[in-house]
Structure 1
Amino acid sequence: MNYIRTAMLLAAMTALFMGIGFMIGGQSGMMIALAIAAAMNLFSYWNADKMVLRMHHAKEVDERSAPDFYRMVQRLAQNADLPMPKVYIINNPQPNAFATGRNPQNAAVAATTGLLDMLTPEEVAGVMAHELAHVKNHDTLIMTITATIAGAISMLANFAFFFGGNRNNPLGFVGVILMMIVAPMAAMIVQMAISRTREYAADRMGAQICGEPMWLASALAKISGGVARIHNPDAEANPATAHMFIMNPLSGERMDNLFSTHPNTQNRIDELRKLAQSGMGTGGGSSFSQTQAASSGPWGGQPRPSARQPERPKGPWG
């Protein structure tokens, strides 16, 4: 159902783009704007992962510098039948994480130090499973396509101001002004709706990857509180990357409305609880207990490290 919604939203954005292009300059004007927007977004598609990681000052880690975190991502990638992504840590106290990369073969996952410090290993596993679900679902590609169309719509609206539209526009210059205001806003709403739809799909697949829906549910509750309290200067400086994070880093937004990049947190938790109640995982809070069988989750048969050891050496969890 999520895939159907995404396809319908993409179709709506494409139809909006085609209609605006015809009203402004006919077929030739529409194709010129599309070519320019596609060229701009093609560059972003091939370089978006490096740009985003640089914006947020992410540092790549390996099995030596962050052994437990790296091995956890490795185990989850195996569960998801994905190539091992590059792993990054962002020195930022706000708990958050994101995935980037144009395809599973060129993917990267990143978590903040705030996420690693605030959450238990099981909760971190739920978060990283969610990010790997984005990789597996090719959500980066989907969002690139929507960004391309949204950019083309905004460009067409700007063209309307200079060229005034064509004779097919029944509202004349007033219609051009309305188009300049309404068209980009409509494109933004559809783009955000697609992003919110993909978050629900990633939550579900992430729960399947780690095997415990309540790990992610508990993590979302903690992240929501942390995001509301802790400012993220890098995200504020680069608001266009907000939709990539597991939770909106710009504010502790609680309302699921047309202008939000993410679903309401409680709605996401409720959906994960339904998965747990349907029989996936243990379905209880005891899954976070240190007394649970060590064979459960990405830690395998090894003792699970603590995320709150005060004497831990450099790197997350030792």
Structure 2
Amino acid sequence: MSGYRRQLPSMTSLVVFEAAARHGSFTRAAGELGITQAAVSRQVQALEETLHLQLFRRLHRSIELTAGGHSLSKAMSEALGLVARTVRDITDRSKPAELVISASVAFSHFWLLPNISDFRRSNPDVKLTIVTQDSTANLLREDIDIAIRYGNGNWPDGKAIRLFSDDIFPVCSPGYIEEHGAPDCVADLTRHNLIASGSPDPNWTGWDQWMGAFGYSSDLCNITLSCNFYTDAIYAALRGEGVVLGWRRLVSDLLKHKQLIRVAAESVQTRHAYFVVLKPAPSRKPAVESFLAWIRSGTGESAAAPRGCKI
């Protein structure tokens, strides 16, 4: 069998063609490749002459792939993508494993960072980068390996694996109770200083939804402080500014160490849950499986589900 070299045209012209087809422009392809627009045009023309096939229709101010050009463009994109992934995979084996993890400000601050040392002890060779952001990162377009999200699990950019749901109840500092006393019931919360936190996430539960779950209007609430971030609202509660809604999974350490105290038996269970979202399988790094096994082992649903309303 003859080698590929005899069956293929110039690899340079093929690479230049792929860039021009992907951009739909000789000029933008030239910018990516660091050559002139005229050089791109010459390489494409040489390829067309070699193949005896027109690959682009030259229009007045644009270019357009022909049917043959479409077929070759698809094949080149797949082939170069495969080569690029293979090169990355074999070179990554000689480098320290690295994971880029995206999480919300609240989840990163109150759950991920307090627990991440457990993962690092069992995976000392994995280098971690944690990207903290409340906006939703797109795994198909951004250099992020794992996203931890709260919602219904339906995201188009990766595979969602459920971690846990949550329940929400009022908490405050011991100092606040000493000064103001503890609420007797849900209705009694209306006389207390309440701390609210906003979120761009429509699934977020605030005082409106929480009080409404028990038949009370939030109009009766005495919200004395509002924060853009949940982390700020929790810190305000720690300083004795009032009562805040505690998401059990996020404030468990603060409750354990008596920095915050639960002040009502009533709770609201979330319908949505926290999920780990992974890049599509061909793009995953080997260390992803180690992180997934670790976080699932540490965040399983408790054997006894908490009692309370569900919203």
Scaled to the shorter chain, the TM-score interval is under 0.3
Task: Tell me the TM-score normalized by structure 2.
Answer: 0.21
Please state which structure has a larger fraction of its residues in helix: 1
Larger Rg: 2
Please state which structure has a larger fraction of its residues in strand: 2
